[in-house]
Amino acid sequence: MAQNIAVIRGDGIGPEIVEQALLVLNRVAERFGHEFTYTDVDMGGNAIDKWGDPLPQEMLQRCLDSDSVLLGAVGGPKWNDVPGPMRPEKGLLRLRAGMGVYSNNRPAKIWPQLASASPLKQEIVDKGIDFLIVRELIGGIYFGKHETVTENGEKVAIDELRYSEEEIRRIGRIGFETARKRGKRLCSVEKSNVLDSSRLWKKVMHELAAEYPDVALSDMLVDNCAMQIVRDPSQFDVIVTENMFGDILSDEASMITGSIGMIPSSSLGQTSRGLYEPIHGSAPDIAGKDVANPIGTILAAAMMLRYSFDMEKEADAIESAVSQVLDAGYRTRDILPADPTGCTLVGCQEMGRRIIENL
Ligand code: IPM
Ligand code: MG
């Protein structure tokens, strides 16, 4: 099958981790008889430097013309002082909105080989960590009006948080559908003791529940959820939540699985064209040193094969190659245990090469 993939290498460690993911995809194409072609897209800090815009229209168009988009990471201290609307991250937000990918799927699953890398006590880890955060991605406070005004001689900054019933309903459905395919438990996370948007969120989730009698819906306040994720993560199956809560909780959830460097994500909307990226950032402090962990991006490429291209066995092959490399003890720095006996420290390129060897 021929597929055109828009590739955003991005900033910081982005180019080096994406490179490894592309080598993995090439190997998959060779082994399974597919043809993947790649279209380079500038987005983020590098696009600001080159075009004066974190996502020029022409670059968004390349993504919309592709079958799917693979992204490394964007941003870095170099662009800290550029004004809000021109920040590298704004390119990412415009890309998500431009592609209409409202549903962001972030798995938190512990790899048995990395159980000792989790900061949680062994007895908590042993109960199992395998849940998924469904994060609303193109609404809420990220996309409300942002402004800084002057009142009584001082600056006042305002960020608006709004959600319509329809925006909540469409992500709610994804939450229920996802839970239906897993353990049939959906936890809706909000702050309904304080926010109107959360009260509307909760109301819509309960309306939807009538359509999914086979799924058990529960509600949880976001502060409590942050606590429960470290107290007893085994209680969760699928969490559905709004944009900013999902951003924060998914970083927390990734950490308890050992390393944020291991977690991929998929973002989908109404079509099969998705945006696939690791959930970590551009890590400018380690960029260009060949120490970054490419596994999050490689697993994001696997998700792309599974969810956008319907290539289930190809995705399985990548995931099992990753598992075999972990079994063999290869570790990038971020997943090297305190006692590294039996492990071999490898860089970004070697990690990629080892995974390809197992494909
Ligand atoms: C993420 C990131 C982004 C977000 C940033 C880079 C805008 O933290 O994908 O979680 O907040 O959505
Ligand atoms: Mg984040």
Active site residue 247: yes
pLDDT at residue 259 greater than cutoff 90: no
The rounded Å distance from CA 66 to ligand 2 centre is 25
Question: Chain-wide mean pLDDT for the chain?
Answer: 96
Provide mean pLDDT across the span 326-354: 95
Percent of the chain topping pLDDT 70 = 100
What CA dihedral angle connects 211, 128, 302 and 265, to 10 degrees? 60
Q: Contact, 73 vs 280, CB < 8 A?
A: yes
pLDDT confidence of residue 274: 97
pLDDT at residue 116 greater than cutoff 90: no
Q: If pLDDT is split at 50, 70 and 90, which confidence band does 270 have? A: very high
Provide mean pLDDT across the span 118-124: 93
pLDDT at residue 355 greater than cutoff 90: yes
Q: Which residues contact 274 (CB under 8 A, 6 or more apart)?
A: 68, 69, 101, 266, 267, 268, 303, 304, 307, 308
The CB of 101 under 6 Å from ligand 1? The reply is no
The rounded Å distance from CA 106 to ligand 1 centre is 12
Q: Name the residue with higher pLDDT: 116 or 285.
A: 285
Q: Which ligand is nearest to the CA of 251?
A: 2
b (16+ CB within 10 A) / e for 289-303: eebbbbbbbbbbbbb
Q: Which residues contact 303 (CB under 8 A, 6 or more apart)?
A: 105, 264, 265, 266, 274, 276, 315
Provide mean pLDDT across the span 48-60: 97
Active site residue 142: yes
pLDDT confidence of residue 128: 93
Which residue from 92, 243, 267, 277 has its CB within 8 A of the most atoms of ligand 1, so it is best to mutate? 92
Q: Which residues contact 64 (CB under 8 A, 6 or more apart)?
A: 98, 99, 273
pLDDT at residue 359 greater than cutoff 90: yes
The rounded distance, in Å, linking the Cα atoms of 165 and 168 is 5
Q: Which amino acid is at 277?
A: E
pTM, two decimals, is 0.94
Active site residue 223: yes
The CB of 252 under 6 Å from ligand 1? The reply is no
pLDDT in tens, 209-245: 999 999 999 999 999 999 999 999 999 999 999 999 9
pLDDT confidence of residue 338: 85
pLDDT in tens, 72-103: 999 999 999 998 889 999 999 999 999 999 99
Which one is catalytic: 102, 142, 276, 307?
A: 142
Output the residue whose Cα is nearest ligand 1's atom 11: 247
pLDDT confidence of residue 263: 93
pLDDT in tens, 148-195: 999 999 999 999 999 999 999 999 999 999 999 999 999 999 999 999
The CB of 237 under 6 Å from ligand 1? The reply is no
Q: Which of 232, 215, 154, 144 is nearest to 179 (CA)?
A: 215
Q: Which of 190, 242, 171, 179 is nearest to 213 (CA)?
A: 179
The rounded Å distance from CA 79 to ligand 2 centre is 18
Which one is catalytic: 223, 232, 285, 316?
A: 223
Q: If pLDDT is split at 50, 70 and 90, which confidence band does 337 have? A: confident
The rounded distance, in Å, linking the Cα atoms of 49 and 119 is 39
